[in-house]
Structure 1
Amino acid sequence: MASRRSLLAGAALLSAPRSASAQAWPTRPVRIMVPYSPGGQADTVIRLLQPKITEFLGQPLVLENRPGAGGSIAAGIVAGAPADGYTLLFDSFPFAVQPLIQRSITFNYETAFAPVGQVVALPYVLVVKRDFPANDVPSFIAAAKARNGAAYGTPGIASLGHLAGALLAARAGISMEHVPYRGGTDAARDVAAGNLDSAIATASTLRPLILEGHARGIALTSGERRGTLSDLPTFAESGFPGFDLTSWNGLLAPAATPAPVIARLEAALRHATTDEATRQRLIASGNDPVTEPAAAFGERIRRDREIVRQLIRDTGLRLE
């Protein structure tokens, strides 16, 4: 009995430092890798959330922009970092797509990360130039058939806009020529000038064109009406049930990060996304604030990845 008590006491002493450190986390600044350039959509969102996350954690957030290779440079840094919660990734929808299109990645996107939480949803929208003969999805399809196709601009290859156009073409039985740009703003400029039939990009990018009369909004790619263009119908309610491609921003940690650390980070995100002033700033920047916990966020990533896999199988779509 005495020997057993000694063993139990020793085990308790060994486990105590780990438990205490989990409760005390963080004790130093937390680094967040952003795979996109300063001033971009993801960068804007995390900087709006930064003050409230810092307030909750009691430690500064150090944001590092590491764009390139479709986001895999920043993701690789986090995948190889210690699983202690001090190096995190703030990513968006391309996170779900990269493992399907990049062959040279040295880490496994599907096993290298632990989801922490989603913070915003970002619907994309299809718009057409002023003289394109369409006001809704049925008339857009009819016009595309009559013209033997329609060209659509997007923020780039493998972007959500690219995928949404390919999905619409496949389900509607029409031809759509993808025109990739370096960003949604460039595509918007050509639609406004009348040089491009249509574009599929973020609502925040294309909404000014609609409000100023330089383009007409047709439909949202999200499964439900949301965001600053919620007056527009969705593709799902326009004859294509189940059509749901919605971009997002969310936080991820290296796999094997302790559950108490994930829980504290999840709580920090909830603190930020439920702050009313922060919510209004996110809405003003064209984002729809959400509070999606780790498990639901992980399921969203898996669902988005499977949608893209199925789209590639059904259409032979090339994303390289």
Structure 2
Amino acid sequence: MSPVPRRAGLALALAPGLPRPGRGQPGWPSRPIRILVAWPAGGSTDAVMRLLAGPMQAALGQPVVIENRAGASGSIGAAAAAQSAPDGYTVLGDASSQAANPSLLRGLAFDYATAFAPVTQLCVAPALLLVRAEDGPRDLAGLLARLRQGGGTYSSSGIGTAVHLAMAALLRQAGVAATHVPYRGSPQQVQAVLAGEVLTTFCTVPAAAGLVRDGRLRALAVSSARRLAAFPEVPTVAEQGFPGYAVTEWLALFVPAGTPEPAIARLAQAAQVGLADPAVQARLELLGMEAAAAGPAALGAFVAEQRMKLAEVIRAEGIRLE
């Protein structure tokens, strides 16, 4: 994944290539803007979109309304957005499923690659690689050595989730096999490690931070390209012999393909003004995320690269959502 900007000093300059608003859509916006969130109310994606709705509303001068359209790994909300008029008044708030779903799901009524225009990346959510502190390996090399002995298992918060794909990508790059045990959410996947039901897991920071600090879990690595400010002592996977490795959850805004460029530019700048607010950044940190502004061109290139990388892992591992 692309390097994550540091939280301090985040500004609009972090999004090079962002088009400037033009005059191709006079009077826009003149009515409320709807953000379709492809995930359930109360989840991390929903929380970020609601956090940014206020600053975006202030910047755009029109109400910004959040509407949850959850289900089918984000594809229900994406389908609704894809079928909406390309006028800038319907925005899709989505996660890394934008990159994974084309390979995970069959029979979609739309093509992720052509149905949407990128607006801006918002943030990333790195994951910690965890083992039980009491008797787990001391480092990533030790974990992989134990897995090579055979019979190793790992948990995730569900098939095809970012943490599942993070582990699948690591195992593939390391040439190691392990059995995946999916659970119904982050608390359950972490409890499985604590109880000794599985050897390891990649887990989002909020679900694991307290247990790491209490000494019940040991963090062996972080899945992002850079170390986390909250856990500076935990090395990245890439630092430990796997150059180029970086798999995280990420959130971004998209609009239906054909939306006028001036509207896209206004939406991107409104979101990035919100991301530059220190209070917003502090709240994102509590959610285990880091602000990562990027303009439409950069986001489009990033998503295309992620689709290619994840497709390779998903095909090789035979991962499928039915």
TM-score by length of 1: 0.89
1:12 paired residue number: none
When residues 139 and 20 of structure 1 are mapped into structure 2, their CA distance, relative to the original with a 3 A threshold, is: closer
- Displacement of 1:90: 0.4
Q: Distance in 2 between matches of 1:54 and 1:132?
A: 51
For 1:285-300, list aligned pairs within 5 A.
285-300=287-302
For 1:118-137, list aligned pairs within 5 A.
118-137=121-140
- Displacement of 1:211: 1.3
* Secondary structure, aligned partner of 2:160: coil
- Displacement of 1:129: 1.6
* Overall identity of the aligned pairs, in %: 37
1:246 paired residue number: 248
* Secondary structure, aligned partner of 2:309: helix
For 1:10-89, list aligned pairs within 5 A.
22-89=25-92
Note if contact 1:123-1:202 (Cα within 8 Å) is conserved in structure 2. Answer: yes
For 1:256, the aligned partner's letter is G
**Pair 1:94 & 2:97 matched:** yes
* Secondary structure, aligned partner of 1:110: helix
* Secondary structure, aligned partner of 2:258: coil
Residues 260-289 of structure 1: CA distance to partner in whole angstroms, max 9, x if unpaired? Answer: 000000110111000111111111221101
**Pair 1:269 & 2:274 matched:** no
- Displacement of 1:60: 1.2
Note if contact 2:157-2:182 (Cα within 8 Å) is conserved in structure 1. Answer: yes
Q: Distance in 1 between matches of 2:271 and 2:69?
A: 22
- Aligned CA-pair RMSD: 1.6
* Secondary structure, aligned partner of 2:158: coil
Query: Please, which runs of 5 or more residues in structure 2 have no aligned partner?
Result: 1-21
Note if contact 2:24-2:262 (Cα within 8 Å) is conserved in structure 1. Answer: no
2:112 paired residue number: 109
**Residues paired across the two proteins, number:** 300
When residues 69 and 210 of structure 1 are mapped into structure 2, their CA distance, relative to the original with a 3 A threshold, is: same
- Displacement of 1:20: 6.0
* Secondary structure, aligned partner of 1:229: coil
Note if contact 2:91-2:256 (Cα within 8 Å) is conserved in structure 1. Answer: yes
Q: Relative contact order, CA 8 A, sep 6+: which one is greater?
A: 2
For 1:205, the aligned partner's letter is A
2:147 paired residue number: 144
- Displacement of 1:240: 0.7
- Displacement of 1:228: 3.0
2:18 paired residue number: none
For 1:108-257, list aligned pairs within 5 A.
108-146=111-149, 148-226=150-228, 228-257=230-259
For 1:124, the aligned partner's letter is A
Note if contact 1:222-1:246 (Cα within 8 Å) is conserved in structure 2. Answer: yes
Segment of structure 1 superposing worse, 251-260 or 170-179: 170-179
Note if contact 1:192-1:209 (Cα within 8 Å) is conserved in structure 2. Answer: no
Note if contact 2:105-2:320 (Cα within 8 Å) is conserved in structure 1. Answer: no
- Displacement of 1:229: 3.1
TM-score by length of 2: 0.89
Q: Distance in 1 between matches of 2:136 and 2:292?
A: 36
| Larger Rg computed on CA atoms | 1
For 2:285, the aligned partner's letter is I
Note if contact 2:152-2:199 (Cα within 8 Å) is conserved in structure 1. Answer: yes
Residues 83-131 of structure 1: CA distance to partner in whole angstroms, max 9, x if unpaired? Answer: 0011111011111111112111111110000000011111112101233
